[in-house]
Structure 1
């Protein structure tokens, strides 16, 4: 847990929940996925609009030249038919309403909707991944602040030891080498503190970038590293079942299969007949569609039923259909591979978390042993019954045991959150 002396006046206490909320608001990755969702929704509306009648408007205006007639062949001069009016114009409105197209329109709508659902799962996976990234950086920053507090306490203790050993040396009780060794250890720990401070600066920048702060904004984790708030409430097999049911990666794989099956359906629809109602209304000049021709404007309307059948689809789409059929099988294999990887990840995170809990317990016991060992060696050294090297070793072992406890608690939290992420519960 971060102590009050680590928090400067300008430091911003930050909880993990607040860090996640800020990251969710700032994240460019999430904004990109949200824009992709908007695109998917537009594609659904576009596919549904294909159910509406199509209406075309076409108009033209031009001038005709006098018409040359080569009575004696093109080797001789032509005789011209002189037109009284050289104008030609046309305006036409046509419409088509699809009645049946082999289910192509419904398939297109279903494909657009499935792509939208796939995008929802991609967005969920992006959110989970971002959440885990925030957690990793937050826990990393917690680790360094805990290390800083431990090393500061150790430096304070060692400064007092150097003072006492210096007094012993001045009184002729110990050798000069003991003073030098004590000072050397103190110097090494001060260097270690410098490294930890730099690690805090780097970790702070990493977290600031994710949550949208300025790089150098001073933040201090306010959450405790204690493990009382976390724990596994299900057995391994139940986590596996939850993962295969809720994981965005599993749902993405399912939607990929659906899309490949819809692609196969769309190709089959190409080989079916298409039936629709059509109509057009034309205003033209001159009247040259019907005989006898007239140099006068005219109106013509037509409506009816249109049937079309693309025979070439039988050989044009032959290999496309085979490729689509193979793609369905490929996506099913890909889904099985995703499930295998998810089960492995669940097993790893589940096992590591339980392992970390044991390590935490062992570390706590190790600290008790190391503290007692340090107390004994410290007394015997100042009673001239042991060497300074024994005291330095005992001090180092105690500090290392405390570091290990912090590392194991951080690891337990990380593996816990990884398990939640994999199982779709983060």
Structure 2
């Protein structure tokens, strides 16, 4: 019997390893997805490195650079090489009528090998202007790529701070739910002693239910915002994100004056793009203007031909012929057709100039708005902190009175709502101040990957 099962005993170690491998793979599939601990600076770095919009902007920038190379190639000569073989019939010559013909024997095989070269010498500066246009378009593409990066930068910060805001509110909501549950127990105890009515228990239960509904809604909002952040960072949707908000414990103090912010804003990407596009319109008008000038090119050609049909009768010999010269052309029709084109091009130049002025006005308004609103929020924060102190003390007094049956359930509900509103307002103002700081950096063009982090401010909410 031992010899009968001996082969199976040899396979036992391998079966054991196979079982461990299968079990290990099964455990891997049930493990939790990866978790990322994100600071606000790491979030921005990941978004700038992996966001699809930024990748597309970089690709469009490369395409614009390639187009510049294509335009530069127009300065190079055009070189053609041509080869052909043909077999021809005899020549049938008609003398006076279709019936009076004479057949002339032809050499049936024809060969040709030729080359042509044409190099532009002058084209009314249209080629050079085309290169300048392509270079300006590449510069605009680079600026737009940088602008897309800044847009994703501020959007990532806004989403990150939005999640931070919701999580801060959630902590307060959870705390208040615990407070409401304790109050409900106290009201129920008073009801058992006959000190309160059933109506007060219902009010306490309703307040607890409303806060629980707020918690559910807040959690779902956090989930939605987390998915938006994952999309911005281009990470898998099953990845768990955890925010490390330690670096947000301080809010920034604005260092630049309003005039300095405005000066910086006039140099940001949007303004540079507007000025470049205004220059592009001028170059395009210059290119159209080139239609009023002739085109001059150097040309050359050579050819090997068989037979020699340049002579008659044709001779059955291979011959070579080359030529070189200058070709000049001038479009008479452009003298009257270009008038409409030039008028349209001039209007486009004026339109771009007005667009630049409008963008400058818009930037001025944005800087003024963000600067004033940041100052306003900084002034509101101490007020909200004082409101929390006042609401907390008011709630303590009303709660003591209620437990001593000196106040109604509506009084403690109003006091609690006032405290909750004060805490929510304080959290909102502090996070809004951080967001306004980054928005001011954005509108002034100072929002870069190495943008300064918030410092020197009140404590974290």
Over residues 351-406 of structure 1, what are the superposed CA-to-partner deviations in whole Å (9 max), with x where a residue is unaligned? 22122222222111111110111111111111221112111110111011111111
Does residue 56 (structure 1) correspond to residue 80 (structure 2)? The answer is yes
Equivalent residue number for residue 5 of structure 1: none
Q: Which aligned pairs between 1:10-409 and structure 2 lie closer than 5 A?
A: 12-74=36-98, 76=99, 78-83=101-106, 85-224=107-246, 228-245=250-267, 247-289=268-310, 293-409=314-430
Over residues 283-312 of structure 1, what are the superposed CA-to-partner deviations in whole Å (9 max), with x where a residue is unaligned? 112223357753322111112333333333
Contact 1:204 1:216 in 2 (8 A): no
Q: Find the aligned partners of 1:211 and 1:62 in 2 and give their Cα distance.
A: 64
What is the CA distance between 1:275 and its match in structure 2?
3.0
Change (3 A) 1:82 1:420: same
Q: Find the aligned partners of 1:225 and 1:401 in 2 and give their Cα distance.
A: 24
Q: Find the aligned partners of 2:341 and 2:237 in 1 and give their Cα distance.
A: 52
Q: Find the aligned partners of 2:179 and 2:296 in 1 and give their Cα distance.
A: 91
**SS of residue matched to 2:237:** coil
Q: Find the aligned partners of 1:29 and 1:38 in 2 and give their Cα distance.
A: 14
Structure 1 gaps of 5+ residues are 1-7
What is the CA distance between 1:147 and its match in structure 2?
0.8
Contact 1:240 1:423 in 2 (8 A): yes
**SS of residue matched to 1:55:** strand
Aligned residues: 416
Q: Find the aligned partners of 1:222 and 1:120 in 2 and give their Cα distance.
A: 33
Over residues 14-49 of structure 1, what are the superposed CA-to-partner deviations in whole Å (9 max), with x where a residue is unaligned? 111111122222211111111111111111122222
**SS of residue matched to 2:266:** helix
Over residues 242-272 of structure 1, what are the superposed CA-to-partner deviations in whole Å (9 max), with x where a residue is unaligned? 1111x21111111111111111111222222
Change (3 A) 1:279 1:310: same
Equivalent residue number for residue 16 of structure 2: none
**SS of residue matched to 1:317:** helix
Over residues 189-240 of structure 1, what are the superposed CA-to-partner deviations in whole Å (9 max), with x where a residue is unaligned? 1121111111111111111121122334332321259573423212222212
Q: Find the aligned partners of 1:328 and 1:260 in 2 and give their Cα distance.
A: 5
Q: Find the aligned partners of 1:306 and 1:11 in 2 and give their Cα distance.
A: 70
Contact 1:205 1:216 in 2 (8 A): no
What is the CA distance between 1:127 and its match in structure 2?
0.7
Contact 1:142 1:225 in 2 (8 A): no
**SS of residue matched to 1:173:** coil
**SS of residue matched to 1:307:** strand
What is the CA distance between 1:52 and its match in structure 2?
2.2
Over residues 153-204 of structure 1, what are the superposed CA-to-partner deviations in whole Å (9 max), with x where a residue is unaligned? 1111222222222222222333332222222211221121111111111111
Q: Find the aligned partners of 2:143 and 2:438 in 1 and give their Cα distance.
A: 19
What is the CA distance between 1:77 and its match in structure 2?
5.5
Change (3 A) 1:291 1:243: farther
Equivalent residue number for residue 27 of structure 2: none
**SS of residue matched to 2:292:** coil
Q: Find the aligned partners of 1:58 and 1:262 in 2 and give their Cα distance.
A: 37
What is the CA distance between 1:99 and its match in structure 2?
2.6
**SS of residue matched to 2:75:** coil
Structure 2 gaps of 5+ residues are 1-31, 448-461
Q: Please, which moves more after superposition, 338-347 or 90-99?
A: 90-99
Q: Please, which moves more after superposition, 267-276 or 25-34?
A: 267-276
Q: Find the aligned partners of 2:328 and 2:35 in 1 and give their Cα distance.
A: 75
Change (3 A) 1:257 1:291: farther
Q: Find the aligned partners of 1:395 and 1:9 in 2 and give their Cα distance.
A: 40
Change (3 A) 1:30 1:343: same
Over residues 317-366 of structure 1, what are the superposed CA-to-partner deviations in whole Å (9 max), with x where a residue is unaligned? 22111111111111101111111111111122112212222222211111
Contact 2:251 2:434 in 1 (8 A): no
Q: Find the aligned partners of 1:68 and 1:291 in 2 and give their Cα distance.
A: 15
Change (3 A) 1:227 1:394: same
Change (3 A) 1:10 1:282: closer
